[in-house]
């Protein structure tokens, strides 16, 4: 009896986690939840029943999905009256927002909307792009080089303090290699593994197998060579399957070398979608539960969908957004110029 009950429970758990066959999305519906033409929203996070955003004009906000209520906050620092936030992450009930430009300010925001500065970096070249937590204690943020390596800061105490990695432990960057603060998705993680997408004249994938303790770098065949080209966004479905998108924002209709795929954890990459969509895109995500086969990429050039790991794409909307996050396999929240919206894929 106990054996049968145990087997039954295992089957129930397994059935709840089964992947589903990729769906044939062909259109979307959009429900605006925030409209403000003065905002450029490039960083959102979703946790439980709440959506969080960080943007320009010192702005931070929280939206409760169930009761549709907003809370907003403006963050001011004595030497930073005009801050633009393009990175946000959640950890242990707190938000962390990171500004671009000099100085770079990283704030910890409590549930009561109290905030404090937990890291600051001053340098004429400082420009941070993306941030994520591996677990409750450890997190990482990355930015453009101020020396001969990417700027990488790490916390090991839950976000209360951050330290910058010295260039001696990181691969050197090439001339003109940096990153794009386009969607807060330059960093992808899976377990202890971390991938960082660079862009510009050189566009590669920096890799750590151990939460930032050691680093290597892999080549990428994405379009590169100009300051406006390269990877803008990277995502991993698991330890092996990953995708990156980008292109050239000054040539948004270019459809060669705008998306790449790996099936070996980032060691090797191949181009996908050559000669068709996704053209230039600033954010890519795997659709949840669809076996790593279904992808959505979006940007100023609209929204594109693939159900076969990027071999074939179709444009399902002309709507322009910078970034988005899935909450399930048919629903996402997206942000862009002057708005945040709920998207239903059909």
Residue 9 lies in a domain: no
Provide the domain count of the chain. Answer: 1
Q: Which domain holds residue 335?
A: 22-345
What's this model's pTM, rounded to 2 decimal places? 0.92
Q: Is residue 86 part of a domain?
A: yes
Taking CA 179 as the corner, what is the angle to CA 319 and CA 299, rounded to the nearest 5 degrees? Answer: 5
Question: Comparing C-alpha atoms, which of 115, 43, 78, 22 is closest to residue 282?
Answer: 43
Cα–Cα distances in angstroms (integers) from residue 122 to residues 63, 66, 100, 258, in the given order: 32, 40, 11, 33
Q: What is the pLDDT of residue 5?
A: 41
Strands 259-262, 28-40: parallel, antiparallel or unpaired by DSSP? unpaired
Q: Is the peptide bond before 262 cis (omega within 30 degrees of 0)?
A: no
How confident is the model at residue 276, as a pLDDT? 87
Count, in order, helices (H) and strands (E) of the chain: 1, 29
Given a cut of 50, the residues of the chain with pLDDT beneath it are 1-17
Token pair, residue 15, equals: 């059935």
**pLDDT (tens digit per residue) in 160-194:** 999 999 999 999 999 999 999 999 999 999 999 99
- CATH, residue 310: 2.130.10.10
User: What pLDDT does 21 receive?
Assistant: 83
Residue 15 included in any domain: no
In whole angstroms, give the CA distance from residue 52 to residue 206: 28
Cα(320)–Cα(287) distance, integer angstroms = 19
pLDDT digits (tens, 9 = 90+) for 45-103: 999 999 999 999 999 999 999 999 999 999 986 555 689 999 999 999 999 999 999 99
Is 183 a domain residue?
yes
Q: How many CA atoms lie within 13 A of 315 on its CB side?
A: 16
Look at residue 76 in the predicted model and tell me its pLDDT.
80
What is the model's pLDDT at position 151? Answer: 98
């Amino acid at each position: 009896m106990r054996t049968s009950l145990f087997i039954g429970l295992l089957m129930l758990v397994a059935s709840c986690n089964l992947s589903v066959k990729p769906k044939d999305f062909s259109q979307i519906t959009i429900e605006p939840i925030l409209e403000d033409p003065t905002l450029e929203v490039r960083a959102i996070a979703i946790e439980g029943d709440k959506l969080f955003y960080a943007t320009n004009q010192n702005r931070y906000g929280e939206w409760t999905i169930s009761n549709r209520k907003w809370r907003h906050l403006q963050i001011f620092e004595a030497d930073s009256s005009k801050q633009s936030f393009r990175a946000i992450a959640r950890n242990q009930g707190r938000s962390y927002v990171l500004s671009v430009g000099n100085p770079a300010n990283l704030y910890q925001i409590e549930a009561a909307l109290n905030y404090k500065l937990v890291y600051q970096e001053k340098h004429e070249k400082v420009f941070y792009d993306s941030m994520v937590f591996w677990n409750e204690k450890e997190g990482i943020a990355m930015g453009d080089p101020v020396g001969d390596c990417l700027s990488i800061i790490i916390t090991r105490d839950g976000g209360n303090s951050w330290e910058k990695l010295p260039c001696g432990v990181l691969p050197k960057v090439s001339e003109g290699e940096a990153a794009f603060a386009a969607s807060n998705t330059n960093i992808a993680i899976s377990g202890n593994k971390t991938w960082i997408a660079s862009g510009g004249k050189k566009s590669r994938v920096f890799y750590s197998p151990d939460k930032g303790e050691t680093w290597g770098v892999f080549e990428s065949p994405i379009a590169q060579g100009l300051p406006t080209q390269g990877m803008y966004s990277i995502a991993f479905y698991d330890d092996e399957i990953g995708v990156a998108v980008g292109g050239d924002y000054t040539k948004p209709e270019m459809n060669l070398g705008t998306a790449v795929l790996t099936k070996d954890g980032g060691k090797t990459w191949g181009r996908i979608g050559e000669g068709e969509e996704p053209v230039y895109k600033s954010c890519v995500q795997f659709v949840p539960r669809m076996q790593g086969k279904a992808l959505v990429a979006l940007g100023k050039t609209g929204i594109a969908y693939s159900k076969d790991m990027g071999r074939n794409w179709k444009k399902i909307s002309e709507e322009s957004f910078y970034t988005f996050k899935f909450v399930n396999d048919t629903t996402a929240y997206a942000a862009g110029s002057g708005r945040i919206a709920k998207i239903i894929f059909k």
